[in-house]
Amino acid sequence: MTIWPLSEARWLSSDSPDRIPCQLHFDSPLRLQARRRQSAQSWGNRELITKPVYSTLVASALNRLRVYLPPDLRDQTFRFRKFLLQRAEALPEGEWKGTIDSIHRWSTSQQARLDLRGIVGVMDLPAGAGEFWPAMAACRWLHLGKNSTHGMGWFEGRAS
């Protein structure tokens, strides 16, 4: 059996991958939910994020990749999360252009058809993915957001 490490995931080019202007194309619904507020009203379904910003995608990527890291790096990533997200917020980004869509699957445990809502669309990154390109490259394979194991959150990066 051949093992393929995620560290071999490539971004759009080998020349300065952090600065290549690009677009992130989400053709499979991306399911991101707003954080829960600490109140009695927060126990229902969380609101679907319909216009994500790049730092939200980076946060989702960090969450997705964290389980694949050795324990010491997992802890470091968690400690520096706020700093990393501030760095992501500083990168220029275009406005999200997309719509709500869903995929359907049968749940054997619930004996019902589930409609998993998410968003499909495009985000421009005019200055590139920045220092987060390795996380974005890895998440092209692992997908982003909730229900990624069901095929949601698949995206493609394209040079623009």
Tell me, what's the pLDDT at 41? 43
pLDDT beyond 80 at 28: yes
In this prediction, what percent of the chain has a pLDDT beyond 90? 53
Tell me, what's the pLDDT at 72? 85
In this prediction, what percent of the chain has a pLDDT beyond 70? 92
Tell me, what's the pLDDT at 101? 93
Q: What is the 3-state secondary structure (H, E, C) of 36-96?
A: CCCCHHHHCCCCECCCCCHHHHHHHHHHHHHCCCCHHHHHHHHHCHHHHHHHHHCCCCCCC
